[in-house]
Chains A and B, each alone.
Chain A
Amino acid sequence: MIYIIDHNDSFTHNVVHQFENFDDVICDNHNEINEEKLKKSKVIVFSPGPGAPKDYPRSSNIYRRFKGKKKMIGICLGFQQILHCEKGKIIQQKKIYHGYQSKIKVISENSLFTKNRKFKVGRYHSLKLKEPFVAKNFEITMRCDISNVAMAIENNKEKIYGFQFHPESFLTENGNLLIKKILSA
């Protein structure tokens, strides 16, 4: 079972449908977490949402509690939530991407995805990761082809994954494949 934590977003149910292709999904608001189901789940997903990671202390708490114990996946704000918990700084970017399709590139050999592969993705974010970012077992594995902004992180040891873009958006090519690969990792 996959447990999706909703940060009041208007894209969350696209995420739910995408994950439902692969397993049963429970989706609860970050204010109404069902502890029992959370504990039973195999995977925790942090949804996109408005604002910044510091606005969602409950989600940070869940991340810290289950890190290394369950597979965790963050999307957009969820991605930033993971980075925030790993002492990364989340800052405003000069150019803001809302509803934007851009090309990104796999930059790491250690990624689950083929190095140098490029594909188009949908983006909805005002904030980004401040670099350099260093955290144990984490690697930035995808970047925007033009601006070089970090677009994905992978921690294959503790099974933690995050995307700054939206795999569930209609603007993203092969979003389902992306999620399938991460879920079977």
Chain B
Amino acid sequence: MIKKNYLENLNKSKKPFIIYRSNKGFDLYTNFSKKIILTKNNIEKFINQSTKLKSKNKETDLFIGFFGYEILNNLIGIKIKKQKGLKFPKGIFYKPEIKIKLPKKLNYRNLEIINSNKIFKININKASYKVIFDKFKKKIKSGETYQIKICTKYSNKTQIDALDFFCRLVKSNMAPEAFMIKDNDYSIISCSPENLIDKKNNVITTKPIAGTLKKTKKLNRIKALAFFRKNIKESKEHNMIVDMERSDLSRICKTGSVKILKKKIVEEYKDLYHYVSLIVGRLKRNISSLDIIKAMMPGGSVIGCPKISTLSLLNTQEKESRNIYTGSFGYIKFNGDMRFNIIIRSILNYKNYSEISVASGVVIDSNAKHEFNENYIKAKALMDLYK
């Protein structure tokens, strides 16, 4: 067991650390012996070499960190024009020397140093959102994309204690892929619910979420399932993502091994229900970590479908960098096993700015006003932490 006040002392010490949700609670990684800042030029080498290191069967035989959205585009050959926004690194990985298990309940509070303007600014207002929305709807009608996610961003000048934010966030919103990173010049706080890659030996799974329903007193899991089944729009979006993820896995998996383990089930969270599927495959021989990452990232459920043409449409439209949003956080072990999520429901703090990005899908029967408000609801859960 860890000593009382360990977290508090670590937080005070200014030593970088990472906390990632585990089966039973959280894992804390710290004492980083290496920090690799990714660029277009070193990313392939980094991924290839990370799994060639000799494993001593230590729990810290891994690299943990994140890939931003832009670098994942570059990795599959999609260029993004120069964008506005914070000049935040495109990806950072750390080699930890210490891993400590933390309990599910994290007791740390610090109410003193929240310092913000209270009101977040949005980068796209309702009217311009509608313009983009209508443009993409035309592209759906002409068949260039079947589903596309418009990203909006809320930002604010702030100073926060990331650990305090994270502890409060997971208390109200525990998510299976929750994580936080605290380094000297930035922090990330996330309650991501979505696992993109879970690979052990030659078995790989992905667990896309498409479909969200806000909890009410009248709802229960069975009723939520009935809602999703009856709602043709949600069903179609979900079907599309399932077929797309099957295809992404098929690229790297043995013929006939890709199966839907859980087909369109409902998972319950504190404030909402998610419509989820679980897809599994057995990897082909000689598939490298780089092959896996290129096949699966950026995660389809937050981009739209089909991936390549939809990414190209998005990238000509979006003037501001997505930074970490819809990138992936997780780890690669020296033995090649890995776990990665999709970075959504997250706050990036950098240069005294906090930014929260959200997106929702445009399919043929979506409604601009509804989706715009949906985005606001998603962001609000995070903005409420600043109160």
Residue A148 lies at the interface, judged by CB distance under 8 Å to chain B? no
Q: Which residue of B lies closest to A101 (CB)?
A: B239
Are the C-beta atoms of A170 and B143 separated by less than 8 Å? no
A14 at the interface (CB under 8 A from B): yes
When chains A and B are docked, how far (Å) is the Cα of A92 from the Cα of B145?
Answer: 14
Q: Is the CB of B244 within 8 A of A11?
A: yes
Instruction: Please tell me if B248 contacts chain A, counting CB pairs below 8 Å.
Output: yes
Q: Which residue of chain B has its CB nearest to the CB of A100? A: B236
Q: A13-B247, A98-B147 are in contact. Are A126 and B239 (CB under 8 A)?
A: no
Task: Give complex CA distance A52, B143 in Å.
Answer: 7
* Chain B proximity of A124: nearest CB distance (Å): 6
Binds A, one of B3-11, B55-63, B64-72, B255-263: B255-263
Q: Quick one: CB contact mask for A1-30 with B, threshold 8 Å, 1 for yes?
A: 000000011111110110011000000000
Q: With contacts A10-B248, A13-B251 known, is A99 near B240, CB below 8 A? A: yes
Contacts A9-B306, A10-B307, A50-B309: A99 and B246 contacting too (C-beta < 8 A)?
no
Q: A8-B309, A99-B235, A99-B236 are in contact. Are A13 and B248 (CB under 8 A)?
A: yes
Q: Nearest B residue to A76 by beta-carbon distance? A: B143
Chain B window 229-243, contacts with chain A (Cβ cutoff 8 Å), 1 for yes, 0 for no: 000100111111011
B 335-372 to A, binary, CB cutoff 8 A, 1 in contact else 0: 00000000000000000000000000001100000000
A90 to chain B, nearest CB (A): 9
Q: Shortest beta-carbon distance, A73 to chain B, in Å?
A: 18
Query: Quick check: B255 and A99 within 8 Å, CB to CB?
Result: no
Q: Does A171 contact B (CB under 8 A)?
A: yes
Report Cα–Cα, A51/B306, bound state, in Å.
11
List the B residue with the shortest CB-CB distance to A166: B243
Are B236 and A98 neighbours in the complex by a CB distance under 8 Å?
Answer: yes
**Does A125 lie at the interface of the complex (its beta carbon under 8 Å from any beta carbon of B)?**
yes
B220 to nearest A CB, angstroms? 26
